[in-house]
Amino acid sequence: MVIGAVWYGPLFGKKWMELVGVDSADQEATKKMQKSAGPLYLVQFILTLFQVLVLAHLVSDTKLA
């Protein structure tokens, strides 16, 4: 998540906004994108925790002998 924030922020943020058709000078569109990003990050974090839980169970059930 941190790498994505850096990737789409300071590194390639302007180019990404150009490709998705958002004008960086349009404050309304920028606020709308920022408002919708919070819930998406929360959902992604919860899904990542679920993935870790499933992987932990898979590893713990695998016996190496």
Q: How confident is the model at residue 36 (pLDDT cuts 50, 70, 90)?
A: confident
pLDDT of res. 50:
97
pLDDT above 90 (res 52):
yes
- The answer to whether residue 13 scores a pLDDT higher than 90 is no
What's the CA dihedral at 41, 37, 25, 14 to 10 degrees? 30
Task: Give residue-wise pLDDT tens across range 15-33.
Answer: 888 888 877 778 887 788 7
Say what the pLDDT of residue 46 is.
96
